[in-house]
Structure 1
Amino acid sequence: MKNTYILGIGVEKDNMSLVDKILGIQHNNETHLGWVLEIEEKQESIDYINFFLNILEGKYNALEQIGVTRDMISIWRYYEYDEQCNFEFSPQELKRMGDNGITFCISCWDTGEPYPSFEKVLN
């Protein structure tokens, strides 16, 4: 089974290196929508919501100066499953995302189906 977490920021290709600099982390994927940081879970569970929000918080003003508004930022979870799919989120995580104005997206698929690319899910 595959579990992938994504921070996506809609930004022009010309500004991707500026986003890297502002956030202090290098993107590791690009789509037609822009900057993508993708993390694949290997063994242990990842506190990805807080991880991504820690990267973003305190940097919204700098992002806005290059044309990135909060509605252009999203956190994604891709989840491959067998038979049943369950999620649990703490009220604190959901509140923190809401307070930050960040959209949260989940894409699930049966293991018998091919792994969707980030671009495919968005189209």
Structure 2
Amino acid sequence: MPVGGGLVHGLGEGRHALRFEFEPTSAPDITHGKGAPGRAQLYIDGRLVGQNDMPVTTPIAINPGGMACGANPGSAVTADYQAPFHFTGTLHSVTVDLSGDLIVDAESEMRMHMARQ
């Protein structure tokens, strides 16, 4: 279900397969600081359990910390736990699939690299 602009869904005990998909619905508007709008979909065990249309996303990259699996070092996404929530179960596998069309904005990438100088 959509919660605060994100998707949240509870899980029962046992082994589950989770999948998140994002499908852009239009081009980003980088000159105005807006990433591509799109539809976010959350699947559990192959079944769609929630989706949310996102009018904009964050353009380029702002998170130098990367991705976290098994912990939430940032803000909690639900009141059910407090960060930095550490998962005490077992993650059997994690797959990150970046297939699909790459959105490239050479001018914005150059500005990003120049800002890091």
Normalising by structure 2, report the TM-score: 0.23
Q: Which has the larger radius of gyration?
A: 2
Q: Could you state the TM-score of these two structures normalised by the residue count of structure 1?
A: 0.22
Structure with the higher helix share, 1 or 2: 1
Name the structure where strand makes up a greater proportion of residues: 1
Higher relative contact order (CA 8 A, sep 6+): 1
